[in-house]
Structure 1
């Protein structure tokens, strides 16, 4: 069992416990932290408390992380679109509809299942459920992501994401006509206050910054490039809905009535740039837009 002790400083006073821990342990998901709290593995001044506890200056937080119970995640022979691979990393172009890692209700046909069949080794930092997974993209978002084959690579890549030196660019088709050619959305994101399955812009949430520029306008729709400065859950989808231009086809944050027959949002992780963890060489990868995305753009151009 791993144990950690943290002391709350004055600049963190009044922050929620789960928010503080999410910032302190960026490799953990918010749900993992909340489960640790719920199961009594986290105390404040020796007392068991709730996730929403407001911290005070000088509070002593103790975290006990139990050993992972074995979970039977099976390798599956699922084809992968591999953009690059070496002894340390593997870069994948993930298709729409594929879940990145196993979770409740999705213990098979995930990217992790496919990776376990393809690779003998993956980093163990994120445990048995998410081996090698440094960053994620949503099930119905397509595009490029990097997976770590060992802990050295995982730590180095995660640090680049944390320090905002890794470059992640997406292409999205949005509802409506965005008037500005470029813009920055700086709005904190947290769990939706009433719908816990959704994220939302919430005062006191985690810092979230998205840069965007318009690539093409189609009257009722706008094609943009979005660059992530931070990487919050559903960040682009939440931010675009927040400014009144949700991603086309988004079943959670978008319009109920859709003009196109889509299986998910038109959001694609097109570009990823980072420094290789072993060689120190800057590398960049670009995943072409999937055919269904290109077809819709072509139709919109023809209607102009």
Structure 2
């Protein structure tokens, strides 16, 4: 078996594969020739039936599910659309954040600064994120906070923009953190650590975990 699949496959059956996407790898190809190396293209070389269901930002690591037939793709995609799935992320954010809370403000694409997004209270589509502090840490003398993030909606860059909006950007975020906050870690410290959904054939509720690499 190809080393990539050996290293990153978490589960596989007749309906779907669950993959640990590494940070720095696109989920789907970009628009230019230099952005064709991506997770789905690597998987298609090994399993031609691979079908996309959802995606993660290039710099985010963690759990992604890919269907292996059209019925499974339709079923699991519907679960995402109808919010029957549960997803949690772990992140390191800059500064000392306390307690838990909810960010409820829309996030939209900023055409003046691609690929950035920004909060826009006038946007009609909601963006909702629950957050909860796990523990406080330090990196090179700088306070950081380990948090659990639960996105209720799935807007592009939602978690990254919402943490910036709180005044605690994600450590290593080259788009939304300060230069100092970016340099605390060599990667974006955002990881999709837990995913649960119903099996598209049996209907059994499944839950998968992926160890946090930072």
Give the TM-score normalised by structure 1. Answer: 0.64
Match of 1:101 in 2: 28
State the SS of the aligned residue for 1:109: coil
Q: Are residue 144 (structure 1) and residue 63 (structure 2) matched?
A: yes
Contact persistence 2:95–2:168 (CA under 8 A)? yes
CA distance in 2, matches of 1:154, 1:237: 27
CA distance in 1, matches of 2:37, 2:182: 30
Match of 2:96 in 1: 177
- Over the aligned positions, Cα root-mean-square deviation in angstroms equals 1.7
Change (3 A) 1:176 1:286: same
Q: Tell which structure's C-alpha radius of gyration is larger.
A: 1
Match of 1:113 in 2: 41
Which structure 1 segments of 5+ residues have no match?
A: 1-76, 123-131, 294-304
CA distance in 2, matches of 1:184, 1:112: 33
Q: Are residue 134 (structure 1) and residue 53 (structure 2) matched?
A: yes
Question: 147-156 or 168-177: which moved more?
Answer: 147-156
CA distance in 2, matches of 1:228, 1:169: 7
State the SS of the aligned residue for 1:257: helix
How far does residue 226 in structure 1 lie from its aligned partner after superposition?
Answer: 0.4
Which structure 2 segments of 5+ residues have no match?
A: none
How far does residue 200 in structure 1 lie from its aligned partner after superposition?
Answer: 0.9
How far does residue 260 in structure 1 lie from its aligned partner after superposition?
Answer: 4.5
Question: 201-210 or 139-148: which moved more?
Answer: 201-210
How far does residue 263 in structure 1 lie from its aligned partner after superposition?
Answer: 3.6
| Matches for 1:71-220 after TM superposition, within 5 Å | 79-80=4-5, 81-105=8-32, 106-122=34-50, 132-179=51-98, 181-192=99-110, 194-202=112-120, 203-204=122-123, 206-218=125-137, 220=143
Greater strand share, structure number: 2
What do the CA deviations read for 1:56-82 (whole angstroms, capped 9, x no partner)?
xxxxxxxxxxxxxxxxxxxxx671310
Moved over 4 A (4+): none
Which gives a bigger RCO, structure 1 or 2 (Cα 8 Å, sep 6+)?
Answer: 2
How far does residue 282 in structure 1 lie from its aligned partner after superposition?
Answer: 0.7
How far does residue 271 in structure 1 lie from its aligned partner after superposition?
Answer: 0.4
Contact persistence 1:189–1:205 (CA under 8 A)? no
What do the CA deviations read for 1:167-188 (whole angstroms, capped 9, x no partner)?
1100000011113x11111111
